[in-house]
Amino acid sequence: MIAIEVHLDADAAAAMARDVRAGLLSEPKELAPKYFYDERGSQLFEQITELDEYYPTRAERSILARRSAEIVAAAAQPRTLVELGSGSASKTRHLLSAMRDAGCLRTYVPVDISEEITHETAESLVQEYPGLAVHGLVCDFEHHLERIPDGEGGRLVAFLGGTIGNLFPRARRDFLSRVAAMLGPRDRLLLGTDLVKEPARLEAAYDDSQGVTAEFNKNVLEVLNRELGADFDLDAFEHVARYDSEEARMDIRLRSLVEQTVRIAGLDLAVSFAAGEEMRTEVSAKFTRERLERVYSEAGLALSGWFTDEAGDYALSLAQPS
Ligand code: AVJ
């Protein structure tokens, strides 16, 4: 009942080196948020999701806990649940249970970058859901969407957690267009998005009083020190999290506290920072229903369902090919 395919880039290390070089040489400097998530970074993100100030994970979980049956009905009783960035699938069980209760559940397709977690998740789910087939894919789903198997009887393709917010507009449109191209007429996308709200609450969610988010942000420097032999001094940078209301996104940076030169041995590169210079490490876009309708329509999708938590802080939306 379990089949797992691995499509990992042989040259992930080379891709990282290329990315980091380009980012450090660009003006302003920039690093991609995917490099946050080594083991320590993943642990720190887990801690973030438990902070009082960081509401998105709890809000999304409460929508799934309360409304999965409605979501499954609105998605026309899909037989297959595909999950992009499945991880430990902790929130997914609400959807799987609703599909089981509706009598439509056949197959779960977790797509994740971690082979170990995908195996563990598959093992537990086949025990929890007797008869469930798991067809896992270990890959970077941003690049390997085409590998996702076709499903008879409709697929629900879930992309939860608000990770879409990390993409800049062009990358977001490209990604959603490719999702649209893989969806058949019976398939639906289920997308998690954080919503626009008062800047003070947004900024608190990304600059918590315990400093966990600051540590998470700085951890990317530790990743570069280890993977690329860099000599970043984490104490020479500070965490900056600002809401950009024009672009409707959180803008997260590391600010150099002093004038300094950092050496990245693995890239054979030395990079200078001015005192006060900021390097962007992440954006996290916030949406309204209208904005999301526009984003969908630019990608060949149409919004067909809208589910928020009681406070209206976060949305899960359904979309279908238009
Ligand atoms: C995992 C991308 C959804 O943007 O809220 C949390 C990452 N960064 N705090 C987000 C994050 C700082 C998170 N996502």
Q: How many CB atoms lie within 10 A of CB 170?
A: 8
Q: How many CB atoms lie within 10 A of CB 180?
A: 19
Q: Which amino acid appears at position 249 of this protein? A: R
107-112 and 80-84 as β-strands: parallel, antiparallel, unpaired? parallel
Nearest CA to ligand 1 atom 1: 163
Which residues sit with their C-beta closer than 6 Å to ligand 1? Answer: 48, 56, 161-163, 165-166, 206, 213, 282, 284
Q: Which tokens belong to 176? A: 């959603």
Is residue 9 very low, low, confident or very high in pLDDT (cuts 50, 70, 90)?
Answer: confident
- Averaged over 140-152, what is the pLDDT? 85
pLDDT value of residue 89: 85
pLDDT value of residue 265: 98
Report yes or no: 20 and 228 within 8 Å, Cβ to Cβ: yes
Nearest CA to ligand 1 atom 12: 206
273-313 pLDDT tens trace: 999 999 999 999 999 999 999 999 999 999 999 999 999 99
Is residue 133 very low, low, confident or very high in pLDDT (cuts 50, 70, 90)?
Answer: very high
165-224 pLDDT tens trace: 999 999 999 999 999 999 999 999 999 999 999 999 999 999 999 999 999 999 999 999
Tell which one of 159, 282, 283 to mutate to probe ligand 1, the residue whose CB is within 8 A of the most ligand atoms.
282
Tell which one of 90, 284, 287, 314 to mutate to probe ligand 1, the residue whose CB is within 8 A of the most ligand atoms.
284
Q: How many CB atoms lie within 10 A of CB 207?
A: 19
Nearest CA to ligand 1 atom 13: 163
**Cα(273) to centroid(ligand 1), Å:** 26
**Cα(284) to centroid(ligand 1), Å:** 7
- How far apart, in whole angstroms, are the C-alpha atoms of residue 274 and residue 123? 51
pLDDT value of residue 90: 84
- Averaged over 116-142, what is the pLDDT? 93
Of the two residues 148 and 226, the one the predictor is more confident about is: 226
Q: Which tokens belong to 28? A: 């302003």
184 alpha-carbon distance from chain centroid: 23
